[in-house]
Structure 1
Amino acid sequence: MRASRLLSLLLLLQNRGRMSAAHLAAELGVTSRTVYRDVEALAAAGVPIYAEHGPTGGYQLMAGYRTRLTGLTADEAESLFLTGMPQPAAELGLGAQVAAAELKLMAALPIPYRDASIRIRQRFHLDAPGWYHEPDAVPHLLAVADALWQDQAIEVQYRRWSPRPGEVTRRLHPLGLVLKAGVWYLIAAAHGQPRTYRVSAIVSLRPLPERFTRPDGFDLAAFWHAHVERYEQADTDEVATVRLTPAGVSALPDALGPKAARLALRTLTPADPDGWRQATVPLENVPHAVATLLRLGPDVQVLAPTQLVTHMAATIQAMARLYPA
């Protein structure tokens, strides 16, 4: 453990130049006293490291010194695909490996390339979730990821919406994890067929002793692309039937987003004598549907499914109690 920390300290100074003991301690997750001891150990091993005192002082390496001890560990190499996505890496328990891998890669790059990569990082940042969107609670994500790495079967209690709402038990072979708009999805085989499960809907998880063999030719990206295509064409049971006023129809793009609104608008029925029109709206789950449709206020009435009608009514009644006439 200490050897890895000493290498990280050396690479930090090589990549960033002069750094104070406090900054080094924060990067390495140790105390300043530990940094002092590590610096002494590096100096005793022949590393040309020295300190400059004063407000802008700190530790730095002699000009021209570079180490080539930058080999990646297996865990660091596996985590490389998450560089640039610190939040997902942290959720998967890979934050430390990603940081170490990036540090070693930067140290191994020639100076012109390293400068270019720093410029890119200073100018571009990926933030996947939408505005005002709290990420799902995913207490079982690490267990899912561990089973995925090990090709290990799992048994889950899963909270589904359709075709019959409630909790079900499933034995799954995890095939992949997908992060879409800040939401984690598990792709897993059940009865030999890959299916999609929202990780936040997993109520409990139990690893099973059996290992499985991944299906030959399974392409996670291709499967997900096909799944998205099917979902966005409303080829799903997870839909709501609603009635809309003319104002509600006009507000659909703002409430649902452009794609979902286009799908809903295709299903509009002719207006009844009061001007209301019926539509089928693709929605992901009951809480999401309630929050989305409430944005339409009195210009929408939910007709189905029953669970959504019940939740809508309960939410509206609770809101009405807050504003007595």
Structure 2
Amino acid sequence: MMRASRLVSILLLLQTRGRMTARELADRLEVSARTIYRDIESLHTAGIPLYGDAGPNGGYQLLDGYRTRLTGLTGDEAESLFLAALPGPAAELGLGAVVAAAQLKLMAALPVELRDRAGRIQERFHLDAPSWYRDPEPVTHLPAVADAVWDSHAIQIRYRRWREPEEVERRLEPYGLVLKAGRWYVVARCGEQIRTYRVSQILALHPLPSRFTRPASFSLAGFWRAYTEEFEASLRRGQACVRLSPAGFERLGHLMTPGVVSAAAASASEPDEAGWVRVTVPIESVSHATGEFLRLGGEMEILSPPELRESVAAAAAEIARRHGC
């Protein structure tokens, strides 16, 4: 079965790539060049019209006009095409090889002109989902969660959260998986509520025999959009009035979240004689905002609330003291 699949892959590769050397085929299929030679001989024997040229520019090639009909996608391959732009997450879900096979079959089935365009897109655009300066999270139970999502069966998990008690047991009916900034989340019903759980925080997982019916009206994208809006709003419960220099206002766009930047742009006053403006922005807490605004250095002045102004001044004084100023 494995050899038959490899013979088909050789045909599809030659059909989509044109001329390829035995070494190139071997590297792509992760076998030895000797294995490729044997496979090519088998294809010859089967009557496949391909030929090989020797020399530095040589390689194997199908006769012009020959196209294999063995390009039908399996169910798994068709489903995996939705992850074709995310090879890393696809591999985490255990679908890396399936995605590669589906892409190859899709390319082989396209007319030459469309195949060329698809190839150019693949060469010129690349999606890298994880954030900068962040190591990948261990997601040991991700494949099991994905199986539960796909098969609509309940799971029992032991979960680590940020408040007491830190470890809890939960029975979940998982509705979907979301990849956000390189982190996986499962959206699941727990009791009467639909909640979000970070997959890396699942300490143990046991599939349950009971199955559930996913509501036809449930939209994973819609739920996630509402959830993120509510989550971001809950973090920004206070406000701060800040005076910014021209450089500080520009740096704000590089250092703060989009919500803060939008609020600053919408509330900015007319510049004074020195070009400084006043803005009103949402803040999460005094301690969090202190660290955020200190990144602007001397290009900002906190006007209110008083406790934030005092906190920033105290932090700046401590920094100056430690540096002998």
Letter in 2 for 1:158: Y
Superposition map of 1:139-158 within 5 A: 139-158=140-159
Give how far 1:207 is off.
Answer: 1.3
For these two proteins, the number of residue pairs brought into alignment is 287
Structure 2 counterpart of 1:281: 284
C-alpha spacing 1:96/1:172, structure 2 compared with 1 (3 Å): same
TM-score relative to the length of structure 2: 0.75
Cα offset, 1:131, TM superposition? 2.4
Residue 87 (structure 1) aligns with: 88
Q: What secondary structure sits across from 2:76 in the alignment?
A: helix
| Structure 2 unaligned residues grouped into runs of 5+ | 267-281, 301-321
For 1:71, the equivalent position in structure 2 comes to: 72
Report the alpha carbon displacement of residue 61 of structure 1 after superposing the two structures with TM: 1.0
What does residue 51 of structure 1 align with?
52
* 1:114–1:262 Cα change, 3 Å: closer
Equivalent pair of 1:174/1:187 in contact (CA under 8 Å): yes
The residue type paired with residue 214 of structure 1 is R
- 1:187 paired residue number: 187
Between structure 1 and structure 2, the one with the greater Rg is 2
Partner Cα distance (1:59, 1:40) in 2 = 11
Give the 3 Å change call, closer, same or farther, for CA 154–189 of structure 1 in structure 2.
same
How far, CA to CA, are the matches of 1:212 and 1:157 in structure 2?
20
Separation (CA, whole Å) in 2 of partners of 1:223 and 1:35: 50
Equivalent runs, 1:1-325 vs 2, <5 Å: 1-162=2-163, 164=164, 166-232=166-232, 234=233, 236=234, 255-259=255-259, 280-281=283-284
Change (3 A) 1:295 1:133: farther
Match of 2:303 in 1: none
Which whole-Å CA distance do the structure 1 matches of 2:160 and 2:237 have between them?
18
Equivalents in 2 of 1:156, 1:202: separation in Å? 7
Deviation, structure 1 residue 257? 2.5
Identity across the alignment (%): 58
TM-aligned CA deviation for residue 92 of structure 1: 0.9
Structure 1 residue ranges (4+ consecutive) displaced by more than 3 angstroms after TM superposition: 238-247, 249-256, 260-266, 291-297
- Report the alpha carbon displacement of residue 292 of structure 1 after superposing the two structures with TM: 8.0
Q: Distance in 2 between matches of 1:260 and 1:168?
A: 34
CA positional deviation for 1:87: 1.1
Q: CA shift at 1:296, angstroms?
A: 8.6
Pair 34,222 (structure 1): closer, same or farther in 2 beyond 3 Å = same
SS class of match (1:176): strand
How far the C-alpha of 1:227 sits from its partner, in A, is 1.0
Shift in CA distance, 177/60, structure 1 to aligned 2, threshold 3 Å:
same
Q: Are the structure 2 counterparts of residues 122 and 202 from structure 1 closer, same or farther at C-alpha, using a change threshold of 3 Å?
A: same
SS in 2 for 1:47: coil
- Pairwise CA distance, 1:95: 0.9
SS at match of 2:66: coil
1:44 maps to a residue whose letter is T
- Residue 200 of structure 2 aligns to which amino acid in structure 1? S
- CA change 1:256–1:139 in 2 (3 A) is farther
- Quote the offset at 1:136 in angstroms: 1.8
> What's the offset of the Cα at 1:120?
1.5
Unaligned runs of 5+ in 1: 267-278, 283-287, 300-322
Question: For residues 252 and 34 of structure 1, do their structure 2 counterparts lie closer, same or farther at Cα, with a shift above 3 Å needed?
Answer: same
Aligned-CA RMSD value: 3.7
Partner AA of 2:137 in structure 1: D
Q: TM-score, normalised by structure 1?
A: 0.75
User: 2:316 is matched with which residue?
Assistant: none
Counterpart position of 1:312: none
8 A contact 1:263–1:281 mirrored in 2: no
TM-superposed CA distance for 1:264, in Å, is: 11
